[in-house]
Copies of this chain bind each other. A is one copy, B any other.
Amino acid sequence: MATKRFLNTRETLVTEALDGLVRLSGGRLARLDGYPHIKVVVRAQLDAAKVAIVSGGGSGHEPAHAGFVGEGMLSAAVCGEVFASPSVDAVLAAILAVTHEPGCLLIVKNYTGDRLNFGLAAERARALGKRVELVLVADDVALPDAARPRGVAGTLFVHKIAGYLAERGAALDEIAAAARAAASAIGSLGVSLEGCTIPGAPPTERLAADEGELGLGIHGEPGVEKIALQSVRSLVALMTTRLLAALPRERAHGRFALLVNDLGAVPPIEMSVIAHELLGSALAEHVDLVVGPAPLMTSLDMNGFSLSLLELDALRRAALLAPCGVAAWPGAHEPRALELRPLPSLAQDRRAPASADARREALLLALIDRAIAIAPELDALDARVGDGDTGSTLARGAQALRARLASLPFADAPALLRAIADVIGESMGGSSGVLLAIGCTACAVALTGGSNWATSLQAGADAMAGHGGAALGDRTLLDALVPALALACSGADWHAVARAARAGANATAGLPLARAGRSAYLRSDALLGTPDPGAVAIAALFEAAAAHLRNSSDG
């Protein structure tokens, strides 16, 4: 039960949230100067030639209702305290603030407090000469025989349709009729795994660890039914069945819009899974448009979601698809078949056929032999400063290379390096294999670009440093590699290069702190006196190469 919340005080929760919203609306929103009693958010720019659309109710349902004030949706939102209807005066203030000659439509969720307070405000506004109509939304189908179904997230459909018509300059009677017709064509059902945390109230504990509840409202009241914790697939199947069963028979062949509403604390990845299951459910064949998934009509931090169906006609379809100036409205989209793109061929850089080059093959074999031979020594060093597997990891790569010798393109140096990168990347595993593959691949690119071996090897070392995030002095193989290749690039012979590598490796024993690589998380004094095993491996391989090159040029 998530009871730790981000609040200042219960008393200031709503006013602070509204002010945050208004101040970050980019000038789109204003509010009436009536705090704390009258909490009304209005459009900053109102068109006196258009019908005003006003909604509201208790707070705790954000972005409803203030988040839906804007071009093409609401003209004003009247906000009560958390889960409490706003006062008659607050509703009347909202009506008077935004209503001009064309009149005003109030959109009210069917809860007694809202009905009465919005109702009296409507009558008072009429007594003041304002043209006011009121539409009630009672979309909850949780209790099929309820005399007064609750108004829940399906209310958003009515906001959008009324807002669309008002923006187009329709008359009040037309808008009210369309809104009432739409309200009568909506069914909604919610589910939750955990109740919401009402500030100042004790946490609700009515659900066991393996329970959820179905058919709940948006004020923390219990659902009509406890259900077992289950997969989203089976949950969606259950809800789909209930929603379809609640449709009047004459609607069974209609086309629908489906609104998928996060009740407050379901993270986006799970809402997408829910959407995915809906698209594969029995509901999908009835659905032409989907709104969301998104938080639209929340219930504080409730870990749940709701589904709302609206039967479509041409007007409702156009209204839902119309763009509007409200960031919280996620748009309506036609569900599509999955757009698949063919996978690019990843093998195109491995395709070089096997080819022969005896000198290169012999050099590679010499390096393989040395890598395998020094594995125990490297593991022993690594046991002092890391997890003791530097040698065996390197040997695994070497053995894999030996097993694949016959397939390697020795005659094509860049292709050979890319092939080696693939083999060691796959066989060594972990970050060291990827790092060596990076080095080999970058070296191949440089060779292809016309660089000589020394410069190309240095390009490989640079890539390893860049992608690995280590620098000289960080107790990594770079401490052997970098000085050796600097010498190689200046034209030194391979023996001098190997000596530089060894000197660099030895010097790591005196480096105090590992800032990168395997020893980064050890205390500095545990390292002193032990050279870095990666640097030692590099030194050994340069020595093997130098010895082999001397022998083969001797021979």
Contact = CB atoms under 8 A, between A and B. Distances in A.
B268 A67 contact: yes
A491 to B, nearest CB: 26
Contacts of A134: 466-467
Interface stretch (A85-93, A171-179, A217-225, A241-249): A85-93
Contacts of A264: 267-268
Contacts of A126: 441-442, 445
Contact of A2 (B7, B303, B442): B303
A33 B342 CA distance: 5
A148 B344 contact: no
Given A33-B343, A93-B346, A301 B265 contact: yes
**What's the number of copies of this chain in the assembled complex?**
2
Interface residues on A, range: 35 or more
A469 B29 CA distance: 33
A267 to B, nearest CB: 4
Given A117-B434, A276-B23, A437-B120, A194 B4 contact: yes
A349 interface: yes
Nearest to A119: B467
A116 B339 contact: no
Interface in A312-335: 327, 330-331, 333-335
A490 interface: no
Given A120-B467, A305-B6, A269 B300 contact: yes
Contacts of A96: 344-346
A212 interface: yes
B269 A13 contact: yes
A147 B126 CA distance: 68
A202 interface: no
Nearest to A515: B147
Across the A-B interface, the 4 shortest Cβ-Cβ residue pairs: A119-B467, A20-B276, A30-B339, A96-B344
Given A20-B279, A134-B467, 17 more contacts: A3-B209, A16-B273, A17-B270, A24-B335, A59-B269, A88-B434, A116-B438, A123-B438, A124-B418, A127-B445, A134-B466, A147-B516, A147-B520, A264-B267, A265-B301, A268-B298, A301-B303
